Amino acid sequence: MYKYLSNIFEAISTLFTGMGVTWGHMMKIRKENVTLQYPEERWPRPERDIGFNMENYNVIRSRLHVDIDDCIGCLKCERVCPVQCIKINTVKVETKGEDLTDISHTGITSNGTKKALIVSRFDIDMTECCYCNLCVYPCPEECIYMTGGPNSHKQPIDYEFSQYDRNDLIYKFAKDVEDEKMSKYLPQQKQVDE
Amino acid sequence: MGIVHGDLMTLNIGPQHPSTHGVLRLKVKTDGEIISEVEPYIGYLHRCFEKHCENVTYDQVIPYTDRCDYIASMNNNFGYAVAVEELMKIKVPERVEYIRVIVAELNRIASHLLALGTFGLDVGAFTPFLYMFRDRERILDIFEVLCGARLLYNYIWVGGVSHDFPKEFVKIVYSFLDYFEPKIKEYNEILTYNKIFIERTADVGVMPPEVAISYGVSGPNLRGSGVQWDIRKNETYSIYEKFDFDIPVGSGIMGTVGDCWDRYYVRMQEMPQSAKIIRQALKAIPEGNVHQALPKKIRPPKGFIYKRTESPRGDLAYYIVSDGSPIPFRLKMRSPAFTALSVLGEISQGWMMSDVIAILGSLDIVLGEIDR
Amino acid sequence: MTVDNLINWFPFGAEWPVITFVSAVLICAIPVFLFIAVYALVAIYGELKISSFMQDKVGPMGQGVGLHAGKWGLLQPVADALKLILKEDIIPESADKKLFILAPFVVFVGAFITFAALPFSQEIIVADMNIGVFYILAVSSLGVIGIILAGWSSNNKWSLYGAMRSAAQIVSYEIPAGLSIITIVMLTGTLSMQGIIISQQGIIWGFLPNWIIFNNPFSFIAFFIFFISGVAECNRTPFDIPEAESELVAGAYTEYSGMRYAFFFLSEYANMFVVSGVAVAAFLGGWNSPIPGFMDSPPWGLFWFIGKSMSLIFLMIWFRWTFPRLRVDQLMSVCWKVFLPVSFVNIFGVGIWNLLVG
Amino acid sequence: MSEDQDKYIAEVVEKALRGDMDAINNIEDRVTRSKAKAALIKAKRLSKTAAAEAAPAEETAQTDTTPTEKSLNQKVAESLEKKFSGSIDSEDVNEHIQLNGKNWFEIAQYLKDNPDLLFDSLQCITGFDFGEGEALEVRYNLHSMTHYHAIEIRIKTDRNDPKVPSVEQVWRIGDWFERETYDMYGIVFEGHHNMTRILCPEDWEGWPLRKDYETQETYHGIIVPKVKEGWE
């Protein structure tokens, strides 16, 4: 009998303790809510300081971006990608380090390296990207990076990079050049000449 | 009174079901509400992680390990990195070891929070689940500051880590710990000592230690059965021997040793222990270059290694065979959740429908790791 | 606004008795239906918001651009209702179609006809029957037939589980609920709802309102037994084992969608109001003001009744978002091993109390 | 300067050949580093056969540093030899014990029950394929929860008719681990009560982790993709 009653008493008291916890939370909702009203508010929350500044981040893994003018076509990122979502085609150029205005090719990167290759294709399939950030490290020119965070000054973060078509998520970073102009530099053309 | 025996009804729990923690199918034979047989069917998430690993280089394996136990990616990275480093005989800098311990323990807290929250959800308590998720979010925020990712980190590399701490990171972790430690009292009030919760979990799904060991159950599930076995202490790796922490084991306060409540409570007690380790590590962390020991090309010598580490779910082991090339010849992951799920059929016999869900929840499985 | 009054008031009552009766019933039923619909929207909104607040969220909010749910998400329940109405109505191929279609209406009718005996205020009651309490106890368990129909006709194992659990649960909890109502009948000596409320006017113990809950310690316990049994009859957490979304997916309602599911939803909320309404009428003074004599006129009666009911509904919501769920056998043992004996003790105690004090 | 550099490179290459790649990787100057690497490759090419022989020697050297494990392995091997003579295949028991699988079930029971050994926990079963046309192997990692020691046991089996006695009755976890190994390598564990695939679908063709595995073209009419379209 004692056990029976104490059991009931224990049940009631613990249940009331639990209800007290939820009541406390309900009363403090104005201060303690954690909701982010997404389209209006974005991370990090503007009005609340929880210790994170954009400068504080090491990196934000959002979306890959390539500064194609700096790319020297070394294929390091393509090789290191675990899911093969980067595809690069390059064309050798005779005039190393010179601007080719007709295909808007810059000869010298912002780091001062002379480019020996034209990057004719630089596709990143973001549907396959696993956001491992591995391609960012080996890049000698630091031209492939994740947008946002410490890179916001170069490329702001793209919160909703959603598309209606799957193919639109294949990002083509290479300069959009007509085939005619490009064909001048293609190796096959040269072989024919010889 | 005699027992009425009717025909058994076969019931498929899953693959789409709210409480199977992923895509798991349980083929259950029931006699009314009483379960007479449970047979888990797995493999719905199978993507042959091990075959993938035989086709990518050692550093490219790390993103794949992330995706095995996606709740505790840091620990997966950690285990893999430790195994490959031992194979290559790399000595990593002191600072790297401290950073690894800190992030691994943070991730252990995050993983346990998710385990406890979803366990609460399985027995019908929704609010504690969200409280725990709220606190887990803060850990994920910390990881986002650290390496840019919230779930799949690829942070711990062979020979080092990908980034050093950002400035003020130590302060952020301290502020999180100060925030987090009092919250455990709240969890206890709302869930642990709730009478309904105790009724639902105590004495339910008792896993005796012999059964647990025979089934290879490890981690908090094994400790819930009262076996003091923690690889961080018993077979110490990295720098865990430097820290002072306890290994909580189940003692059957509310029922029998090895019941669901014990497994739950072991996890609950492990979180403050992890916080304790983090505090010690933050205090003692030395300066240094985290990229110092990163090998340019990971090419382990011929040989094999079987290396166990303690993930939040138990003994996470990698069996790596190297043939001297930059690609692993064979990589086997011994996942703790795999063994934990295999015991379900044994310990849930004779319980009721609702108990099977509770037992499954208390085992804390992650299907990504079971199916690999 | 009783049906009897209406029938008497109709001038042609004697000539066409059937038409008179039907129109009188309809005149009462339509406002009640509208009331249930509006109340359900309010209650759903309340549930959304209260649960969110308890969980450190803000719930539905509609700030800014686009099709948001109004200020503070006020339009969220309307949007939910619209969505449910507009959704495709799916009937599983292997379901028993007639029963499947019938089930939600049976459940709703079970909840709906109970409103006939709820005293909203001094005048507003559909039918002030002299057996009001008995009527409510009788018809409120009608809903369980609908749930069994739903569970059986869905031809789904989860649904069947849910239905069987629900049947066992509701039938069991009828008993402690009925027994605790008996204590009221013993104290007031009437079965009429209005009669019970009228007997609760005035002051007791010098300062408390003369509500039955304050009448004696036994009735105080009886209130809790009745209320918790009521929560169980509504299939609300911690007694929501027929739905038990983590075990039975959605229990008896697994195969339902769209409009039919909305009806189950509506009847759940209607049931909550019924349970709260009966608890208020029987234990908390019904439409009487908490401070006797203050704001005690008939229009205020409606306010007090709905206000008190809503606070009990808030309590139910509070329960739901705090507690885990009981297991089916524990549910039964709570009913048969705790509530039932305590109810009997209560009846006995009230009898003694009446003899000695009253 | 160049002489110094050459000397330095030679030094570093020597180090690298001994396995210390860091020496090269830590060179600050890019040019020097690349030169060192080129030299290393050259050196390696010259002594390819020599290096291959050096590797196993290194492994044995590693195990020598852990004398406790060695003694355990030898102890286990000795007691097995005494009890089940002729069951051990290889003399070399430094790292693992190679059994021939004849009476593996009895040996397993002995390993579990012997009070000195008490391997009550089967940590892992790893299937292993040596390469096309060669044998398959099953590797068992055992651990004792009482004595806190561990051994590795290997059993080789024929590629065309792979059969190993099942130990699921000894260690219950063997059930699933053996099914997994069967699923991946097609190794049949004799005596297992339910030798079916566990991770792959029941009707999957081939044994995925064998080195000569080829993906099936279609599965139930679904084309199993190999190459992404338009991605070369």
Which residues 6+ apart lie within 8 Å of B367 measured at CB? B20, B21, B22, B23, B24, B42, B44, B45, B337
**HSE of D167 in the Cβ direction (CA atoms, 13 Å)?**
35
Task: Please judge whether C325 and B121 are an interchain contact, meaning their C-beta atoms are less than 8 angstroms apart.
Answer: no
Same domain, A165 and A70: yes
**DSSP assignment of C275-299:** HHHHHHHHHS-TTS-SSTTSS-SHH
Task: Please judge whether B330 and D126 are an interchain contact, meaning their C-beta atoms are less than 8 angstroms apart.
Answer: yes
d(CA B67, CA B47): 10
What would the pLDDT profile of D25-76 be if each residue is shown by its tens digit? 666 666 666 666 666 666 665 655 444 444 444 444 444 444 444 567 777 7
3-class DSSP assignment, residue B39: strand
ipTM over 0.90: no
Q: Would you give the DSSP letter of residue B329?
A: S
Task: Please judge whether B214 and D120 are an interchain contact, meaning their C-beta atoms are less than 8 angstroms apart.
Answer: yes
Q: What is the pLDDT of residue D41?
A: 65
Nearest partner of B306 among D122, D169, D106, D113, judged by Cα: D122
Domain count, chain A: 2
CA distance A85 to chain D (A): 9
Assign D230 a pLDDT band (cuts: 50, 70, 90): low
What would the pLDDT profile of C40-51 be if each residue is shown by its tens digit? 888 888 888 888
- Say which of B62, B144, B189 has its CB closest to residue A21: B189
**HSE of D209 in the Cβ direction (CA atoms, 13 Å)?**
31
All partners of chain A with 3 or more CB pairs under 8 angstroms: B, C, D
Q: Is residue A51 part of a domain?
A: no
Q: Check contact A-D (3+ Cβ pairs < 8 Å).
A: yes
Q: Is residue A46 part of a domain?
A: no
Q: Is residue B2 part of a domain?
A: no
What would the pLDDT profile of D153-193 be if each residue is shown by its tens digit? 888 888 888 888 888 888 888 888 888 888 888 888 888 88
- Say which of C53, C322, C323 has its CB closest to residue A29: C53
Same domain, A21 and A74: no
At D163, list the tokens.
Answer: 């059969």
**DSSP assignment of chain A:** -HHHHHHHHHHHHHHHHHHHHHHHHHHTHHHH-----TTTS-SSPSS---S--GGG-S---S-EEE-GGG-----HHHHH-TT--EEEEEEE-SSTT--BGGGTB-SB-TT-PBP-EEEEEEEEETTT-----TTTTT-TT--EEESSGGGTTTS---TT---SSGGGGEEE-S----HHHHHTT-HHHHHHH-
d(CA C164, CA C251): 10
Domain count, chain B: 1
Residue of A nearest to B65 (CA): A132
- Cβ contacts of D228 on chain A, cutoff 8 Å: 84, 125, 128
The gap from C-alpha A171 to its chain's centroid, in whole angstroms, comes to 11
Which residues 6+ apart lie within 8 Å of D165 measured at CB? D101, D103, D104, D105, D189, D190, D191
B202: left (phi over 0), alpha (psi -120 to 50) or beta: beta
At D189, list the tokens.
Answer: 């564990």
Q: Compute the radius of gyration of chain A from its Cα atoms.
A: 27
Task: Please judge whether B306 and D198 are an interchain contact, meaning their C-beta atoms are less than 8 angstroms apart.
Answer: no
Q: Is D124 on the interface with B (CB under 8 A)?
A: yes
Q: What is the pLDDT of residue B55?
A: 85
Q: What is the pLDDT of residue C234?
A: 83
d(CA D32, CA D9): 8
A194 pLDDT more than 60: no
- Cβ contacts of D30 on chain A, cutoff 8 Å: none
Looking at residue A194, its amino acid is: E
Q: What is the pLDDT of residue D55?
A: 46
Q: What is the mean pLDDT of residues A110-135?
A: 82
d(CA A163, CA A166): 7
Same domain, A101 and A169: yes
d(CA C143, CA C155): 19
3-class DSSP assignment, residue D87: coil
Q: What is the mean pLDDT of residues A43-68?
A: 71
Q: Is residue A12 part of a domain?
A: yes
Interface test with B, best of C323, C328, C332, C338 (most B CBs within 10 A): C323
Q: What is the pLDDT of residue A47?
A: 55
Residue C219 or A42, more confident: C219
C155: left (phi over 0), alpha (psi -120 to 50) or beta: left
At A36, list the tokens.
Answer: 């982010």
C62 pLDDT more than 80: no
At B235, list the tokens.
Answer: 């077979």
Same domain, A21 and A68: no
Assign A33 a pLDDT band (cuts: 50, 70, 90): confident
Give the DSSP H or E segment for B160: strand B160-161
Q: Is D63 on the interface with B (CB under 8 A)?
A: no
Task: Please judge whether B190 and A18 are an interchain contact, meaning their C-beta atoms are less than 8 angstroms apart.
Answer: yes
Sign of the Cα pseudo-torsion (A23, A28, A34, A35, in order): positive
Q: What is the pLDDT of residue D53?
A: 47
What would the pLDDT profile of B110-149 be if each residue is shown by its tens digit? 999 998 888 888 888 888 888 888 888 888 888 888 888 8
d(CA C322, CA B194): 10
Residue B225 or A175, more confident: B225
Q: What is the pLDDT of residue A45?
A: 62
Q: What is the pLDDT of residue D63?
A: 45
Contact call for residues D167 and B208 (beta carbons, < 8 A): no
Residue numbers of the domain that contains B243: 9-371
Q: Compute the radius of gyration of chain B from its Cα atoms.
A: 21
Beta bridge partners of D137: D128, D156
Looking at residue C232, its amino acid is: A
Task: Please judge whether A11 and B141 are an interchain contact, meaning their C-beta atoms are less than 8 angstroms apart.
Answer: no
Nearest partner of A21 among B175, B219, B127, judged by Cα: B127
Assign D22 a pLDDT band (cuts: 50, 70, 90): low
Q: What is the pLDDT of residue D28?
A: 64
The angle formed by the CA atoms of residues C273, C221 and C129, to the nearest 5 degrees, is: 45
Give me the phi and psi of A88, to 5 degrees please. Answer: -125, 130
Contact call for residues C229 and C271 (beta carbons, < 8 A): no
Q: Where are the alpha helices (DSSP H) in chain C?
A: 3-9, 17-54, 76-86, 97-112, 132-140, 143-153, 157-188, 193-198, 212-215, 217-233, 245-248, 258-283, 298-320, 328-333, 340-356
User: What is chain C's mean pLDDT, rounded?
Assistant: 82
Same domain, A154 and A103: yes
d(CA C255, CA C243): 12
Identify the CATH number of the domain in which residue B348 sits.
Answer: 1.10.645.10
3-class DSSP assignment, residue C114: helix
Q: Is residue A57 part of a domain?
A: no
- Say which of A34, A52, A137 has its CB closest to residue B134: A34
Domain borders along chain D are 2-46, 68-219
For chain D, how many residues are written?
A: 232
Same domain, A76 and A132: yes
Q: Which of residues 140-179 of D touch B (CB under 8 A)?
A: 141, 145, 148, 152, 171-173, 175-177
Q: What is the mean pLDDT of residues D96-105?
A: 80
Mapping DSSP onto H, E and C, the string for D185-197 reads HCCEEECCCCCCC
Residue numbers of the domain that contains A154: 62-184
Share of chain A above pLDDT 90, in %: 0
CA distance C291 to chain A (A): 26
Residue of A nearest to B156 (CA): A132
- Cβ contacts of A125 on chain D, cutoff 8 Å: 228, 231
Task: Please judge whether B189 and A61 are an interchain contact, meaning their C-beta atoms are less than 8 angstroms apart.
Answer: no
- Cβ contacts of C161 on chain B, cutoff 8 Å: 33, 353
Domain borders along chain C are 84-356
Give me the phi and psi of B104, to 5 degrees please. Answer: -65, -40
Which residues 6+ apart lie within 8 Å of D175 measured at CB? B342, D168, D192, D193, D194
Task: Please judge whether B338 and D176 are an interchain contact, meaning their C-beta atoms are less than 8 angstroms apart.
Answer: yes
Beta bridge partners of D157: D136
Nearest partner of A133 among C327, C76, D219, B162, judged by Cα: B162
d(CA D31, CA D6): 12
CATH of domain D68-219: 3.30.460.80
Q: What is the pLDDT of residue C2?
A: 66
At A90, list the tokens.
Answer: 């390059």
d(CA D156, CA D137): 4
Which residues 6+ apart lie within 8 Å of A71 measured at CB? A109, A119, A122, A141, A143, A144, A173
Which residues 6+ apart lie within 8 Å of C215 measured at CB? C187, C204
Task: Please judge whether B162 and A137 are an interchain contact, meaning their C-beta atoms are less than 8 angstroms apart.
Answer: yes
Q: What is the pLDDT of residue B168?
A: 79
Q: Which of residues 66-125 of C touch A (CB under 8 A)?
A: 66
Give the DSSP H or E segment for B360: helix B353-363
Q: What is the mean pLDDT of residues C304-333?
A: 87
- Cβ contacts of A122 on chain D, cutoff 8 Å: none
Q: Could you identify the residue written with the tokens 């195969």? A: C255
Q: Which of B353-357, D6-10, D97-101 has the lowest mean pLDDT?
A: D6-10
- Cβ contacts of B141 on chain A, cutoff 8 Å: 50, 52
Same domain, A84 and A180: yes
Strands A170-172 and D222-223: unpaired
**DSSP assignment of C133-183:** HHHHHHHHTTHHHHHHHHHHHTT-HHHHHHHHHHHHHHHHHHHHHHHHHHH
Which residues 6+ apart lie within 8 Å of D28 measured at CB? none
Q: Which of B115-129, C206-220, D13-27 has the lowest mean pLDDT?
A: D13-27
Give the DSSP H or E segment for B223: helix B220-224
Nearest partner of C275 among C188, C176, C205, C189, judged by Cα: C176
Write out the residues of chain B at the interface with chain A, using a CB-CB cutoff of 8 A: 56, 59-64, 66-67, 127, 131, 134, 137-138, 141, 144-149, 152, 154, 162-164, 166-169, 171-172, 175, 186, 189-191, 193-196
Contact call for residues C219 and C184 (beta carbons, < 8 A): yes
d(CA B355, CA B347): 10
**HSE of C80 in the Cβ direction (CA atoms, 13 Å)?**
19
C153 pLDDT more than 80: yes
Global pTM reads: 0.84
Residue of D nearest to A124 (CA): D231
Q: Is A51 on the interface with B (CB under 8 A)?
A: yes
Alpha-carbon separation of residue A77 from A80, A138, A183, B279 (angstroms): 5, 7, 26, 38
d(CA B68, CA B333): 9
Spell out, as residue ranges, where chain B has pLDDT lower than 70.
1-6
- Say which of B131, B144, B154 has its CB closest to residue A132: B154
Task: Please judge whether B227 and D139 are an interchain contact, meaning their C-beta atoms are less than 8 angstroms apart.
Answer: no
